[in-house]
Structure 1
Amino acid sequence: MNKLPNNLPQLQNLIKRDPLSYKDEFLQQYRHYESNLQIFQLKPSTYSKTLEELVLFVAQVAHCYPEEAGPFPEHLRDLLTHHGDALDRSMRMTFCKALILLRNKNLVQANSMLELFFKLFRCQDKLLRKTLYTYIVSDIKNVNKKHKNAKLNSALQSFMYTMMKDNNPVAAKMSLDVMIELYRRNVWNDAKTVNVIATACFSKVTKVLVAALKFFLGHEDGEKEESDSEEDEPPKTEKSLRLSHRVGKHSKKRQKKLDRALQALKKHKKKKKTAEVFNNSALHLIHDPQDMCEKLFSQLEKTTERFEVKLLMIDLASRLIGIHQLSVLNFYPFVQRFLQPHQREVTKILLFAAQASHELVPPDVIEGVLRTIANNFITDRNAGEVMAVGMNAVKEICARCPLAMSSDLLGDLIQYKSHRDKGVMMSSRALLQLYRKVNPELLSKKDKGRPTEAMAEVDPLVYGGQVAKDFIPGAEALPEEAESAEGEKKENDWESCSDDSDEEGEWVDVHHSSDEETKEDEPQISKEERLKRAQTVSSSRVLTAAEFEQIQRRQAVKEVEGKRGGKRKRGAEEEESGGLLTLSTIENVYKKRAHDKDSRLSTVMAGREGREKFGKNHEKMNPHASTTNKDKKRNKAFMMIKHKVQRKKVKRSFRDKQIALRNSLLKRQKAKR
Structure 2
Amino acid sequence: MFFDANPFWRLSSSLDMVRGILLTSNLPQLQNLIKRDPAAYKEEFLQQWNHYNSIREIFAINPEEQAHHFGELVTFISQVATCYPKETAQFPTQISTLLLESYNVLSLDTKKTLVQNLVMLRNKSVISSVDLMKTLFPLLPQTPSSNLRVFIRKTILNDIKTANLRTKNHKLNNAVQAMLFGMIERGLGADFVGDKGKTKMPAPTDSRKTSEEAMWAIILAKELWRKGIWRDAKTVAIIAQGCFHPVIKAQSASLHFFLGDEEDDEVDSDEENDGIDVRSVMHKREINKKTAANDRKARRLLKEAKKQRTKVTESIANFSALQLLRDPQTFGEKLYDILHNHDKKFSLDHKILIMQLLSRIMGSHKLCVLGFYTYIVKYLFHKQLRIPSILAGLAQSVHELTPPDALIPVIRKLAQEFVHPGVANEVIAAGINSIREICRRQPWAMEEDLLSDLIEYRKSRDKPVVSASRGLLRLYREVNPSMLKKKERGKEATMSVTGGAQPLPYGHAPDAATDIEGLSLLEDHLKELEMAKDGDEEEDEWNGWDVQEEDSDSDSDSDGWQAVSDDDEDIVISDSEDEAEKKEKEAADAEPRVSTLATTKILTPADFALLNTLKASASGASRPATSKNKRKQTDADDLNATNDFISENDILGPRKKAKADYEERMASIRSGREGRAKFGSAKGKQNKEHPSSTTNREKKRNKPIMMIMGSSAVKSKKTASLRQKQRKLRNHINKAKKS
**TM-score, with normalisation over the residues of structure 2?**
0.63
Structure 1 residues 148 and 226: alpha-carbon distance in aligned structure 2, compared to 1, 3 A threshold: same
Q: Does 1:429 align with 2:449?
A: no
Corresponding residue for 1:41?
60
Distance, in Å, in 2 between the alignment partners of 1:604 and 1:125 is: 46
Which aligned pairs between 1:148-297 and structure 2 lie closer than 5 A? 148-164=168-184, 165-166=186-187, 167=206, 168=209, 169-219=211-261, 222-224=264-266, 227=269, 233=277, 238=282, 244-245=287-288, 256-257=293-294, 259-261=296-298, 263-264=300-301, 268=305, 275=313, 277-278=316-317, 280-297=319-336
Distance in 2, matches of 1:234 and 1:578, equals 32
Name the SS of the counterpart of 1:148 in structure 2. coil
**In structure 2, how many angstroms separate the alpha carbons of the residues matched to 1:207 and 1:602?**
37
**Partner SS for 1:343:** coil
Q: Which amino acid aligns with 1:392?
A: N
Could you tell me how far apart the structure 1 residues matched to 2:279 and 2:155 are? 32
Task: Using the TM superposition, give the Cα deviation of residue 234 of structure 1 relative to its aligned residue in structure 2, in angstroms.
Answer: 5.0
**How far off its partner does 1:458 sit?**
5.6
**Structure 1 equivalent of residue 158 of structure 2:** 138
**Deviation for aligned residue 1:25:** 3.3
Shift of 1:193: 2.7
Contact 1:133/1:174, CA 8 A, preserved across alignment = no
Matched, 1:462 2:505: yes
Alignment match of 1:393 (pick from 393, 411, 434):
434
Deviations for 1:159-189, whole angstroms, at most 9, x for unmatched residues? Answer: 3222112541212211221222222233333
1:65 aligned onto 2:45:
no
Q: 1:154: Cα distance to partner?
A: 2.5
Correspondence list, 1:444-455, <5 A:
444-451=485-492
Give the letter aligned to residue 340 of structure 2: E
Q: 1:52 to 1:458 in 2, by over 3 A?
A: farther
Q: Which has the higher contact order (CA 8 A, sep 6+)?
A: 2
Aligned residue in 2 for 1:126: 145
Which residue is equivalent to 1:53? Answer: 72
What residue is the counterpart of 1:106 in the other structure? 125
Letter in 2 for 1:216: F
Matched, 1:84 2:123: no
Match of 1:351 among 392, 406, 409: 392
State the alpha-carbon separation in 1 of the partners of residues 673 and 286 from structure 2.
Answer: 23
Find the aligned partners of 2:68 and 2:670 in 1 and give their Cα distance: 63
Q: Indicate the larger mover: 317-326 or 188-197.
A: 188-197
Contact kept? 1:293, 1:321, Cα under 8 Å: yes
SS at match of 2:389: helix
Alignment of 1:384 onto 2:449:
no
Residue by residue over 1:478-529, the C-alpha shift from the partner in whole angstroms, topping out at 9 and shown as x without a partner, is xxxxxxxxxxxxxxxxxxxxxxxxxxxxxxxxxxxxxxxxxxxxxxxxxxxx
2:105 is aligned with 1:75 = no
Residues 47 and 140 (structure 1), Cα distance of their counterparts in 2 relative to 1, 3 Å cut: farther
Distance in 2, matches of 1:384 and 1:457, equals 38
Partner-residue secondary structure (3-state), 2:87: coil
What is the distance in 1 between the residues matched to 2:119 and 2:370? 53
CA deviation vs aligned residue, 1:37-96 (integer Å, no higher than 9, x gap): 122122135561111111112112211222222221121122123222222222122111
Report the AA paired with residue 98 of structure 1.
Answer: N
Cα distance change, pair 376–638 in 1 and its aligned pair in 2 (3 A): closer
How far off is 1:354 after superposition? 0.4
Aligned AA (1:391): I
In the other structure, the counterpart of 1:417 is 458
Rounded Cα–Cα distance in structure 1 between residues aligned with 2:304 and 2:267:
16
3-state SS of paired residue (1:119)? helix
Alignment counterpart, residue 402 of structure 1, candidates 420, 443, 457: 443
Q: Give the Cα–Cα distance (whole angstroms) in 1 for the partners of residues 639 and 480 of structure 2.
A: 19
Rounded Cα–Cα distance in structure 2 between residues aligned with 1:89 and 1:177 = 24
Q: Distance in 1 between matches of 2:489 and 2:286?
A: 63
Matched, 1:581 2:643: no
C-alpha spacing 1:143/1:266, structure 2 compared with 1 (3 Å): closer
Q: Distance in 2 between matches of 1:573 and 1:109?
A: 41
Contact 1:411-1:443 within 8 A present in 2 as well: yes
Counterpart contact for 2:434–2:651, Cα < 8 Å: yes
Distance in 2 of aligned mates of 1:579 and 1:129: 40
State the SS of the aligned residue for 1:202. Answer: coil
Whether the 8 Å CA contact 1:357–1:400 is kept in 2: the answer is yes
- The TM-score, its normalising length taken from structure 1, stands at 0.68
Residue 147 (structure 1) aligned to one of 134, 143, 167: 167
Report which stretch shifted further, 141-150 or 195-204.
Answer: 141-150
1:591 lines up with 2:656 in the alignment: yes
Decide whether the 8 Å contact of 2:281 with 2:298 is kept in 1. Answer: no
- Note the C-alpha offset of 1:142: 2.0
2:595 aligns with: none
CA contact (8 A) 2:425 2:462 kept: yes
SS of the equivalent of 2:656 reads coil
**Tell me, what secondary structure is at the counterpart of 1:337?**
helix
- Deviation of 1:24 after TM superposition, in Å, equals 3.5
Distance apart, 1:439 and its partner CA = 1.4
Number of aligned positions between the proteins:
515
Structure 2 CA distance for partners of 1:343 and 1:226, relative to 1, 3 Å:
farther
- TM-superposed CA distance for 1:327, in Å, is 1.6
CA apart distance, 1:593: 4.9
Q: 1:203 and 1:469, CA in 2 relative to 1: closer, same or farther beyond 3 A?
A: closer
**For residues 511-560 of structure 1, what are the alpha-carbon distances to aligned partners after superposition, in whole Å with 9 as ceiling and x for unaligned?**
xxxxxxxxxxxxxxxxxxxxxxxxxx9x966559xxxxxxxxxxxxxxxx
Counterpart residue identity of residue 318, structure 1: S
Distance 2:471 2:268 in 1: 37
Asked if the contact 1:121/1:174 (under 8 Å) is kept, the reply is yes
- Give 1:352 deviation, angstroms: 0.6
Query: 1:162 is aligned with what amino acid?
Result: G
Tell me by how many angstroms 1:244 deviates: 3.4
One-letter amino acid of the counterpart of residue 654, structure 2 = V
In 2, the alpha carbon distance for the partners of 1:59 and 1:335 equals: 61
Q: Distance in 1 between matches of 2:469 and 2:268?
A: 38
State the shift of 1:297 in Å.
1.0
2:370 to 329, 333, 339: 329
User: 2-side partners of 1:470 and 1:207: how far apart?
Assistant: 44
State the 1:466 CA deviation.
1.7
Question: In the TM superposition, what is the alpha-carbon distance from 1:124 to its structure 2 partner?
Answer: 4.2
2:483 is matched with 442
Distance change >3 Å, CA 98–CA 409, structure 1 → 2: same
Post-superposition CA distance 1:198-231 (Å, at most 9, x none): 2221111111111111112113664149958999
CA RMSD of aligned residues (A): 3.8
Give 3-state SS (helix, strand or coil) of 1:318's partner. Answer: helix
**What is the letter of the counterpart of residue 171 of structure 1?**
E
Deviations 1:599-636 (A, max 9, x none): 86899899x9xxxxxxxxxxxxxxxxxxxxxxxx9757
Per-residue CA distance 1:141-169 (angstroms, 9 max, x = gap): 22233333333333332232221125412
Alignment check: 8 A CA contact 1:47 1:91 kept? no
Who is 2:562 aligned against?
A: none
Cα distance in 2 for partners of 1:638, 1:123 equals 63
Which residue identity is paired with 2:236? V
1:121: how far off? 2.8
Residue 583 of structure 1 deviates from its aligned partner by: 2.5
Cα distance in 2 between the residues matched to 1:230 and 1:184: 13
